[in-house]
Amino acid sequence: MDIEVLNGLLRPKAIAVIGASNAPGKIGYTVVKNLIDSNYQGDIYPINPGSDEILGLKAYPSVLDVPGDIDAAAVVVPAKYVPDVTAQCGQKGVKGLIIIASGFSEVGFTDLEERVVNTAREHGMRVLGPNIVGILSNSDSCNASFAPFLPLPGKAALVSQSGALLIAMDAATYTRRVGFDKLVSIGNMSDVNFADMVEWLGQDENTACISLYIEGLKNGPKFIQAARDAGKPIIALKSGVSAHGAAAAASHTGSLAGSGQVYDAAFQQAGVVRAADLNNLFDRTLALSLQPPMQGDNLLIVTNGGGVGVLATDAAERYGLPLRFAPEDVQEELKKHMPAFGSAKNPVDLTGMAGMDWYQGSTRYAFAHDWVDGLVVLYCETAMTDPVEIAQGIKQAIDESGITDKPVVVSFVGGEQSAEARRWLVEHGIPAYDAPDMAINAIAALREYARNTAEATTPFQRHADVDEAKAREIIAKVRAENSTSLTEVESKVIFEAYGLPVATTRLATSEDEAVKTAEAIGYPVVMKIMSPDILHKSDAGGVKVDIQDEASVREAYTTILANAKAYKADAHILGIAIQEMAPWGTEVILGSIADPTFGPTVMFGLGGIFVEILKDVTFRVAPVSADQGMTMINAIKGAPILKGARGEEPGDLQALSEVLSRYSQMIHELGDEIQESDANPVIVYPEGKGVKVVDARIILKEK
Ligand code: ACO
- Residues 98-126: pLDDT tens digits? 999 999 998 999 999 999 999 999 999 99
Whether 75 lines ligand 1, by a CB cut-off of 6 Å, is: no
* Mean pLDDT across 285-296: 97
Q: State the pTM of this model.
A: 0.90
**How many angstroms separate the first and last alpha carbons of the chain?**
33
Rounded-to-integer distance, Cα 619 and Cα 600, Å: 11
- Ligand 1: centre distance to CA 405 (Å): 49
Ligand 1 centroid, distance to 102 Cα (angstroms): 9
Ligand 1 pocket residue status of 27, Cβ below 6 Å: yes
Q: What is the CA radius of gyration of the chain?
A: 31
* Burial tier of 99 (Cβ tally within 10 Å: 0-12, 13-18, 19+): buried
State which of 237-241, 336-340, 545-549 shows the largest mean pLDDT. Answer: 545-549
Q: What local confidence, expressed as pLDDT, does residue 320 receive?
A: 94
Q: Check pocket membership of 73 for ligand 1, CB cut-off 6 A.
A: no
- Cβ of 132 below 6 Å from ligand 1: yes
- Ligand 1 neighbour 659 (Cβ under 6 A): no
Percent of the chain with pLDDT over 70: 97
**Number of C-alpha atoms within 13 angstroms, CB side, residue 319?**
28
**Residue 623 preceded by cis peptide, ω within 30:** yes
| 188 CB near ligand 1 (under 6 Å) | no
For the CA of 27, the nearest atom of ligand 1? 34
Q: Find the mean pLDDT for residues 240-268.
A: 60
**pLDDT value of residue 2:** 85
d(CA 129, CA 103): 11
The answer to whether residues 565 and 654 touch, using CB atoms and an 8 Å cutoff, is no
Q: How far is the centre of ligand 1, averaged over its atoms, from the C-alpha of 200 (Å)?
A: 29
Give the atom of ligand 1 at the shortest distance from the alpha carbon of 54: 18
130 lines ligand 1 (CB under 6 A): no
pLDDT digits (tens, 9 = 90+) for 649-671: 899 999 999 999 999 999 999 99
Q: Which atom of ligand 1 is nearest to the CA of 166?
A: 51
Using an 8 Å Cβ cutoff, are 664 and 463 in contact?
A: no
Of all atoms in ligand 1, which is nearest to the CA of residue 76? 35
Alpha carbon of 586 to ligand 1 centroid (Å):
65
Question: pLDDT confidence of 374, banded at 50, 70, 90?
Answer: very high
The pLDDT mean for the chain works out to 93
* 27 Cα–ligand 1 center, Å: 6
Query: Ligand 1 pocket: which of 17, 18, 22, 27 to mutate (most atoms <8 Å of CB)?
Result: 27
* 165 C-alpha to ligand 1 centroid (Å): 21
Mutate to test the pocket of ligand 1, among 22, 65, 77, 185 (most ligand atoms within 8 A of CB): 77
Query: C-alpha angle 458/323/410, rounded to 5°?
Result: 90
Q: Indicate if ligand 1 lies below 6 Å from the C-beta of 56.
A: no
Choosing from 17, 18, 21 the residue with most ligand 1 atoms within 8 A of its CB, the one to mutate for a pocket test is 21
3-state secondary structure of 670: coil
Question: Residue with the nearest Cα to atom 37 of ligand 1?
Answer: 78
Q: Is 32 in the pocket of ligand 1 (CB under 6 A)?
A: no
Distance 412 CA to ligand 1 centre (A): 47
| Ligand 1 pocket check for 645: Cβ under 6 Å | no
Looking at residue 532, its pLDDT comes to 82
Tell me the CA–centroid distance for residue 230 and ligand 1, in Å: 36
pLDDT band of 613, cuts 50, 70, 90: confident
Mean pLDDT of all residues in 245-252: 39
Q: Measured in angstroms, how far is the CA atom of residue 144 from the centroid of ligand 1?
A: 15
Give, using CA atoms, the residue closest to atom 22 of ligand 1. 19
Question: Tens digit of pLDDT for each residue in 54-87?
Answer: 999 999 999 999 999 999 999 999 999 999 999 9
Q: Say how many Å lie between the CA of residue 542 and the centre of ligand 1.
A: 68
Sorting pLDDT into bands at 50, 70 and 90, what band is 25?
A: very high
133 lines ligand 1 (CB under 6 A): yes
Residues 431, 429, 347, 434, CA torsion sign = negative
Q: For ligand 1, what atom is nearest to the CA of residue 101?
A: 39
Q: What is the pLDDT of residue 253?
A: 46
Give the pLDDT band of residue 533 (cuts 50, 70, 90): confident
pLDDT at 256 over 60: no
Residue 410 has, within 13 A of its CA and on its CB side, a CA count of 32
* Ligand 1 pocket residue status of 147, Cβ below 6 Å: no
Nearest CA to ligand 1 atom 12: 19
Name the nearest CA neighbour of 158 among 286, 265, 246. 286
| Ligand 1 centroid – CA 78 distance (Å) | 5
Is residue 330 pLDDT above 90, yes or no?
Answer: yes
User: Is 691 in contact with 659 (CB distance < 8 Å)?
Assistant: yes
Residue 608 neighbours by CB distance under 10 Å: 15
Residue 366, pLDDT score: 94
Q: Is the minimum distance from the CB of 67 to ligand 1 under 6 angstroms?
A: no
With cut-offs at 50, 70 and 90, classify the pLDDT of residue 259.
Answer: low
Q: Residue 257: is its pLDDT beyond 60? A: no
Angle at alpha carbon of residue 297, lines to 237 and 226, rounded to 5°: 40
CA 21 to ligand 1 centroid distance, Å: 9
More confident position, 456 or 206: 206
Q: Is 28 in the pocket of ligand 1 (CB under 6 A)?
A: yes
- Identify the pLDDT of residue 258: 52
What's residue 250's pLDDT? 36
Interval between CA 82 and ligand 1 midpoint (Å):
10
Distance separating alpha carbons of residues 16 and 32, to the nearest angstrom: 9
Q: Whose CA is nearest to atom 5 of ligand 1?
A: 19
Report how far residue 200's alpha carbon sits from residue 95's, in angstroms, rounded to the nearest whole number. 15
* Cβ–ligand 1 contact at 421 (below 6 Å): no
Question: Which range, of 184-193, 316-325, 362-371, 531-540, averages the lowest pLDDT?
Answer: 531-540
Is the Cβ atom of 408 under 6 angstroms away from ligand 1? no
Cα 450 to Cα 200, 312, 374, 443: the distances in Å are 22, 21, 12, 11
Q: Is the pLDDT of residue 360 over 70?
A: yes
Lowest mean pLDDT among 42-46, 58-62, 330-334: 330-334
Atom 48 of ligand 1, nearest CA residue: 163
Determine whether the shortest distance from the Cβ of 59 to ligand 1 is under 6 A.
no
The residue whose CA is least distant from atom 20 of ligand 1 is 19
pLDDT in tens, 434-443: 999 999 999 9
* Per-residue model confidence (pLDDT) at position 254: 47
CA dihedral over 446, 451, 454, 459, signed as positive or negative: negative
The alpha carbon of residue 551 and the mean position of all alpha carbons in its chain are separated, in whole angstroms, by: 56
Ligand 1 centre to CA of 215 (Å) is 26
Kindly state if the Cβ of 47 falls inside 6 Å of ligand 1: yes
pLDDT at 246 exceeding the cut of 60 = no
228 pLDDT above the threshold of 80 = yes
Ligand 1 pocket, 131 CB below 6 A?
yes
- Ligand 1 mean position, distance from CA 36 (Å): 19
Residue 242's pLDDT band (cuts 50, 70, 90): low
Spatial separation of the C-alpha atoms in residues 291 and 449, rounded to whole Å = 11
- Our mutation pick for probing the ligand 1 site, out of 26, 30, 113, counting the most ligand atoms within 8 A of Cβ, is 26
Question: How many angstroms separate the alpha carbon of residue 75 from the centre of ligand 1?
Answer: 8
